[in-house]
Structure 1
Amino acid sequence: MNKVSLQGVIDMHVHTNPDLRHRAYDDFELTDAAVRVGARAIVIKTHQGMTMDRAYLCNAYNQRVNHGNNNFTMFGSITMNKVIGGINPVAVETALKLGAKVVWLPTASARNHIEKLNLDMKKCVEVVRDGKVVPEMNDVFQLVKDYDAVLGTAHVSPEECFVVVEAARKAGVKKIVVTHPEWWLVNMSVEDQVRMVKDYDVILERCYAQNMGGGKYKSNLPSNLEIIQTVGYEHVMVDTDGGQVENPHWELALQEYMQYLVDHGIPEEQVYHMTHTIPAGLLGLED
């Protein structure tokens, strides 16, 4: 088998330092790695709030060091955890004005996350209440729509995810990504993933590995292969959710992921679609 190329690849979910949890790369090291392999773009994510200001500095660094000799762009995001006040339209609008491309629902502050890990429920951020999205979510939907940004479902439960996605679609949000539905903490069944795609035309983000607790990770590659075969490559985006010191460095994980798919019968043009075409469309880039 030919070795797949990372040229032009896009990953919309990577964690870096600075972070409360130590990561394998800092922002500039990830920039260097991306340029080294010829990547087109990365979205950096933090559970501590916003990264669009950090993305700006990465792009300025790239320009000064490499003098425009590549077309890599780092993008930022905002995650609506307790640290930014939860579902906070003012914070979301500020982030989007400063260039954020992805608005994630709560991760570590999600009710589902806190319940599954038996943490302090006082720290949770409500997204759905009494079967409906909380009122602030409607303002967030409008902002995501107006700025043509991406809504990521993060760590909410499958039940909450269906409520949010339906409300977002009704509000006119065009770009919706169901975040790592395979992770045991989210635990969305294959049947629900199929229904999400069929009923709401979402993108399923399928990641390299999942945190099983205690510093242990489980490969998602076999189940990722199965979901691609089940729902079709047109609805699956290949991301790493990388940056952990326990896993291979970002570019190695992505290379392994893509190679696994090709080696197991997914045509290279379909892998290209999941790693280039889909994320380029979400970020408003030319493929």
Structure 2
Amino acid sequence: MTDVETIAKEDSARIGEILKGAVDPHVHSGPSMAPRAIDHLDLARVYSDAGFAAMVSKDHDYSGVMCAKLIEDHHPELTTKVFSGIVLNNVVGGINPYAVEHTGACGGKIVWLPTLAAENHLEWEKSSGWQHPATTQKMRHATAVPLFDGDKLRPEVLDLLDVMAATGMALASGHIHVSETKVVFAEAKKRGVERLIFTHPEDIVGASMDDTKEIADMGAYVEHSLAFFLEGSKFRTRSNEDLKAFIDLVGAEKTILCSDLGQVGTLSPLEGFQLGVATCLSLGYSDDQIRAMTATNAADVIGLEG
């Protein structure tokens, strides 16, 4: 039995207490074109039982704000607040300020720049062996959603950033390349966007440790997907030591841990958080530091009240 497994077993009550008030700002519950192990409502029930304060569902193909509103209206017994956002892939028209305005007006919390349709993602996909689970011969493959015209941001991206500033939603980098993230985030700050999330520098986006520190110094939270670090996750590409290096690079005060789970055949989102806390305990982080990474920081970046 590993140290993490021992801690998870012997300190389950402590882990449960640390997770009271937790926020999962990046979780892939369903329904979705891709197979999901749990839907938004059932996950809200699971997280409510565990004492989570909030969750933000993320789907690569649609805005989940209407699902979140139905759950809020028809299940007042749930103590976990359910939110969503929008990912700017082909299905919603790419960089679509109209869709972003609508998402914000309906309570959305996060706007993700392109993921499956990011130029960087499509290049990464060629050598990664990864294929979107929804890919079939009857569906078009994702096509690139460009952010730049030469070395300048496209007009629709500037329009998007102005909308972001007006709505107060958080802007997450998605799967664009780290070099693009630096330019977009710098312009976003100039235009009054106050909430920035650097999405999983550990995978896909081509970020070095220096890149990650630079973006954190710009005022962004650095969000790490537990799915890439945990033993038992089918998406694991990184070690516990890698997680510690990333956290120590910017500090617990600038780090967010999300599950990035909900897919079939792997850890559940709650298991991901429980093992994530056990991992952090094994790495020597205090209860307060872990609460910052699993609750306080995410609550701040989505503007969670109460």
Q: What is the TM-score when the length of structure 1 is the normalising length? A: 0.91
Residue 272 of structure 2 is matched in structure 1 by 253
Task: Output the CA distance in 2 between the equivalents of 1:94 and 1:18.
Answer: 20
Task: Output the CA distance in 1 between the equivalents of 2:295 and 2:80.
Answer: 13
Deviation, 1:187, is 2.4
Alignment of structure 1 residues 168-207 onto 2, 5 Å: 168-183=188-203, 185-198=204-217, 200-207=218-225
Counterpart residue type for residue 94 of structure 1: H
Residue 118 of structure 2 is matched in structure 1 by 110
Task: Output the CA distance in 1 between the equivalents of 2:276 and 2:241.
Answer: 10
Residue 106 of structure 2 is matched in structure 1 by 98
Counterpart residue type for residue 217 of structure 1: F
Residue 222 of structure 1 is matched in structure 2 by 241
Q: Match of 1:209, SS?
A: helix
Contact 1:107 1:155 in 2 (8 A): yes
Deviation, 1:77, is 0.3
Aligned counterpart for 1:77 among listed residues 80, 85, 88: 85
1:13 aligns with 2:26: yes
Tell me the alpha carbon deviations over residues 159-187 of structure 1, each in whole angstroms, 9 at most, x when there is no partner: 1111111111111111000011111x212
Task: Output the CA distance in 2 between the equivalents of 1:179 and 1:61.
Answer: 32
Residue 182 of structure 2 is matched in structure 1 by 162
Tell me the alpha carbon deviations over residues 78-131 of structure 1, each in whole angstroms, 9 at most, x when there is no partner: 111011110011111111111111011001010001112239998110112322
Identity of aligned residues (%): 30
Aligned counterpart for 1:4 among listed residues 4, 7, 15: 15
Tell me the alpha carbon deviations over residues 14-60 of structure 1, each in whole angstroms, 9 at most, x when there is no partner: 01121111111011111111111011000000000211111112223
1:43 aligns with 2:56: yes
Alignment of structure 1 residues 12-31 onto 2, 5 Å: 12-31=25-44
Q: Which moved more, 1:262-271 or 1:126-135?
A: 126-135
Q: Match of 2:235, SS?
A: strand
Contact 1:247 1:253 in 2 (8 A): no
Q: CA RMSD in A?
A: 2.0
Quick one: structure 1 residues 28 and 231, their matched pair in 2 at CA, closer, same or farther if it must change by over 3 Å? Answer: same
Contact 2:234 2:266 in 1 (8 A): no
Q: Match of 1:237, SS?
A: strand
Task: Output the CA distance in 2 between the equivalents of 1:244 and 1:259.
Answer: 21
Aligned counterpart for 1:242 among listed residues 261, 284, 287: 261
Quick one: structure 1 residues 203 and 210, their matched pair in 2 at CA, closer, same or farther if it must change by over 3 Å? Answer: same
* Structure 2: runs of 5 or more not aligned: 1-6, 132-139
1:208 aligns with 2:226: yes
Counterpart residue type for residue 17 of structure 1: G
* Structure 1: runs of 5 or more not aligned: none
Counterpart residue type for residue 269 of structure 1: D
Quick one: structure 1 residues 122 and 41, their matched pair in 2 at CA, closer, same or farther if it must change by over 3 Å? Answer: closer
Tell me the alpha carbon deviations over residues 228-261 of structure 1, each in whole angstroms, 9 at most, x when there is no partner: 1121111110111111223211111111001210
Contact 1:115 1:121 in 2 (8 A): no
Quick one: structure 1 residues 56 and 121, their matched pair in 2 at CA, closer, same or farther if it must change by over 3 Å? Answer: closer
